[in-house]
Amino acid sequence: MTKIDNDLQANIPIIDAHHHLWDLQGHINYAWLVHHEHNWLGNYSAIQRTYLAPEYLRDTALHNVIGTVAIEAECDRSQQVAETKWFSEVSEQYGLPTVIVAHAWVDTPNAEEILAQQVQYKRVRGIRTKPIIAATPTDSVRGQPRSLQDPKWIKGLALLEKYNLSWDLRLPWWHLKEGAEVAACYPNMNIILNHTGYPWHRDATSMQVWREGMQALADLPNVSCKISGLCVADRPWTLEENGPIIRETIDMFGVDRCMFASNFPVDSLKGSWDYIYTQFKRSVADLPMADQLKLFAQNAIRIYRIEL
């Protein structure tokens, strides 16, 4: 991959399209983070601490971050609107996040009530609502409530269109084809795949399943992809391994439907914000600057309707 060798690329404007903030000493409960020490990345005790806007600003200080998208962080679901309120207060104080992707279920009796509350906050642009997923590629939850085949859950997604909200879709690689089947039901909805479809397993068979699922989603013109989450439990984040995945994703979705994102502080388990974004820059350094501007900021501005 080409190195960063000019000031223009080094100072390229960035919209970080996916990051989190949490205050573990505050009133919002993140039980998944506080009470467990392992997830798909292995031990994550290093991020079991408060992560606030001042630290994010320090982490990003070497780059030209002009805006950010804060994503809900799986708080206690009774506090999902309170989390959005807190994000909004943080933004007023620190100038970030610029916009918010909040949480709401779409299959509960109060789903529309929660959505109506979320959109009262002017920075809310979308909702991340997650279907249930199988624990491993060989397990199945097909047809269960809130699965990708649940008619009630699929029908409930129409509420996002009613409230002019995008849908952040988070799935591991073994569910991507099923996700494409659901996305095809809503051709007018702005759908954003999170974390490059989570290619957690890098063996040839798993990557082929990832590739087929990614292509199924890329074939839908209303689906875009956030390039982030390129972490594997048992190895470091390297450009040698992740660079080809980045370029293949861009080839599948096209340069107008991809955007880089940090997934901080989660991805800090594999490298600093500076390190990961420097690798992002190197991965596309040979592309025309017009394309780089799209990948680092312009696409996120359009997709998340960001006003700077």
CATH numeric code, 7-303: 3.20.20.140
Q: How confident is the model at residue 104 (pLDDT cuts 50, 70, 90)?
A: very high
Does the pLDDT at position 2 exceed 80?
A: no
**Cβ-defined contacts of 233-240 (< 8 Å, 24+):** 233/40, 233/41, 233/42, 233/200, 234/42, 236/270, 236/271, 237/267, 237/270, 237/271, 237/275, 237/276, 237/279, 238/279, 239/1, 239/279, 239/282, 239/283
Domain parsing of the chain, residue ranges: 7-303
Q: What is the pLDDT of residues 272-286, one digit of tens each?
A: 999 999 999 999 999
pLDDT (average), residues 10-19: 95
Euclidean distance between CA atoms 281 and 1, whole angstroms: 10
Q: How far is CA 151 from CA 116, 157, 185, in A?
A: 22, 10, 11
Q: Any idea which residue has 């979705």 for tokens?
A: 253
Short-list 30, 24, 28, 10, CA closest to 55: 24
Average pLDDT over residues 65-77: 97
Task: Give the sign of the dihedral formed by CA 294, CA 299, CA 300, CA 305.
Answer: positive
Is a pLDDT exceeding 60 seen at residue 114? Answer: yes
- The per-residue pLDDT for range 166-183, each reduced to its tens digit, is 999 999 999 999 999 999
At residue 9, the pLDDT reads 77
Distances (CA, A) of 289 to 11, 109, 275, 286: 12, 48, 21, 9
Q: Is the pLDDT of residue 4 over 70?
A: no
Reported as a single tens digit per residue, the pLDDT across 228-264 is: 999 998 899 999 999 999 999 999 999 999 999 999 9
Least confident of 5-19, 44-58, 91-105, 274-288: 5-19
Average pLDDT over residues 43-59: 95
pLDDT value at 3 more than 60: no
Burial class (CB in 10 A: 0-12, 13-18, 19+), 179: buried
Evaluate if residue 106 carries a pLDDT over 90.
yes
Model pTM above 0.85: yes
Terminal C-alpha separation, the chain: 32
